[in-house]
Chain A
Amino acid sequence: MKRQIPLILCFLFGVVMLLTQFSPHSLSQGIYEEVLNWARIITPFALVFSTITLLQTHITRIRRQTEHWQYSFLVFGGIAIMVVVGIPFGPQNPVFEWLFNNVQLPMDATMFSLLAFFIASAAYRAFRARNLEASLLLITAVIVMLGNVPVGDLIWNKLISLTPWADTYANGSSLMKQWILDNPNLSARRGIILGVSLGVISQSIRIILGIERSYLGGGD
């Protein structure tokens, strides 16, 4: 029964919501609106569950004293401070805003900024023309990198001005980048989107029909 009731609910809601998309009747649209309202009420509980899961994970880390377990206390400290300030006084509270603008914002921005350094180092090591495929990747990357910044067109225009085709092929660097995005990139992306969409549809049908049950947790 513990597994059958969720499976029945999933089937009923899945089929009903699917049918509402094909019927503009007021009853159908009323059901659709009502279910959306329910879903909007249920969704915030996911935030509560995610917080509980986070706390459980870090309590386990402290108990088992895994590597860097001491940092888990910082997680508790951070959550406690933001909750104590944020929940009673709201996000417009000056202390909450100060904490966001002077702690979270610079730390988050710094973490992401570090990527530039690692990408530069990784590009130096990885972009080697070892074979045809790697050479194609390397050439494409160089074209897109140059075409994406103004200096690319500046260099191109300087070089092309030495030839008789200066006017015909101006801004060639950004035009080549645009061609790569508009053609090979677009074709590959469309293939990926179609593949993923078909996968999502088939997985949804499996879930609605109760064939795929992993979302219920545990073994089948």
Chain B
Amino acid sequence: MLTKLVNMDRRIVFILVALAVIIPMLFPISLPVSISEPTQNLYEFIDELPADSAIMLVFDYGPSSLAELNPMAKAILKQCFDKDVKVVGLTLYAVGTTMGSDLMKEIAEEKGAVNGEDYVFLGYRPGIELVILGMGTNIADIYETDFYGTPTTELPMMENITNYDQIELVVDLSSGNLTEAWITFANVQFNQQIAAGVTGVIISQMYPYLQTGQLIGLISGIAGAAEYEHLIQSHAKGTLWINVESFVHLLIIILVIIGNIAFFVQRKQEE
């Protein structure tokens, strides 16, 4: 019995995880959310921006990370459109192009924002650090047209935006190490304010940059997305999924405890 428990068939674990995901999705519950300081800092920074100022929202992720990063992107866009803050969207990750474009369109329609006036989506250009450095001089040199083929210089919103000097904040939503490229090339070279939204697995990498102030804020995984939704008072998928994740985490902790009890009892018996 103990040996069976210690070497539990992994298919049983898979079934338990599936149930821990499916049941809370079918019967959603509402759990209280505590706001972490890095998320609060980003929210307050955008909240204090004057109307008609601009931020850059970078979709540096692909479909594999959309569950965590799309809710963050939506929450930030909602906050910006509500406050009349202009958004320049782009991606340094080829796969992020269609996702970024669709997502900006979706939230713009919901909030009545107009393409070219309240937001633009510039799309993708290859050469990560070269694109970041180049935009420090002139964004229109790197992106001659937006994603839809309109010359960048003809977009009404871009009339007063030449380079980072007119961008109050770059928010990099990233599933890899591109945030570090933004810090190295945009923050260090051009003194551009940077914030990030990252997947759960790379949160720990971002903390040294938070402490130095090179990141002014950080949204950490789906928990951070739920916090941001709570702050803008628009509960959506981030809130639903963090509640689902709560049950999966609990299940894993219970499994680890059971595994350890069985392991110790078995070891004692062997002695």
Residue positions of A touching B, CB distance < 8 A: 33, 36, 39-40, 43-44, 46-47, 90-92, 96-97, 100-101, 104-109, 111-113, 116-117, 119-121, 123-125, 127-129, 138, 142, 145-146, 148-154, 171, 174, 178, 181-182, 185-186, 189-190, 193
Known: A104-B63, A150-B31, A151-B250. 11 other contacts (CB 8 A): A36-B130, A109-B64, A145-B252, A146-B249, A148-B249, A149-B246, A150-B223, A152-B249, A154-B32, A178-B36, A185-B204
The 5 closest A-B pairs by CB, nearest first: A43-B127, A112-B64, A150-B31, A108-B63, A151-B246
Query: Is A148 a contact partner of B223 (Cβ separation < 8 A)?
Result: yes
A149 to B17 alpha-carbon distance, docked (Å):
16
Residues of A within 8 A of B130 (CB): 36, 39-40, 43
What is the count of residue pairs linking A and B with beta-carbon distances less than 8 angstroms? 153
Query: Is B17 a contact partner of A182 (Cβ separation < 8 A)?
Result: no
Known: A109-B66, A148-B221, A151-B246. Is A142-B204 also a contact (CB below 8 A)? no
A23 to B14 alpha-carbon distance, docked (Å):
59
Known: A109-B66, A120-B252, A124-B255. Is A174-B34 also a contact (CB below 8 A)? yes
- Chain B residue at minimal CB-CB distance from A119: B252
Our pick among A44, A108, A145, A171 for the contact of B249 (Cβ within 8 Å) is A145
A148 to B251 alpha-carbon distance, docked (Å):
14
Query: Is B249 a contact partner of A150 (Cβ separation < 8 A)?
Result: no
Our pick among B31, B98, B208 for the contact of A189 (Cβ within 8 Å) is B208
Query: Is A116 a contact partner of B200 (Cβ separation < 8 A)?
Result: no
Residues of B within 8 A of A100 (CB): 98
- Chain B residue at minimal CB-CB distance from A153: B34
Our pick among A101, A125, A142, A185 for the contact of B207 (Cβ within 8 Å) is A185
A185 to B263 alpha-carbon distance, docked (Å):
29
- Chain B residue at minimal CB-CB distance from A186: B207
Our pick among A111, A120, A138, A142 for the contact of B251 (Cβ within 8 Å) is A120
Q: Does B22 sit at the interface, judged by CB under 8 A?
A: no
Interface residues of B in 98-135 (CB under 8 A from A): 98-99, 101-102, 123, 125-127, 130-131, 133-134
Nearest CB of A to B108, in Å = 16
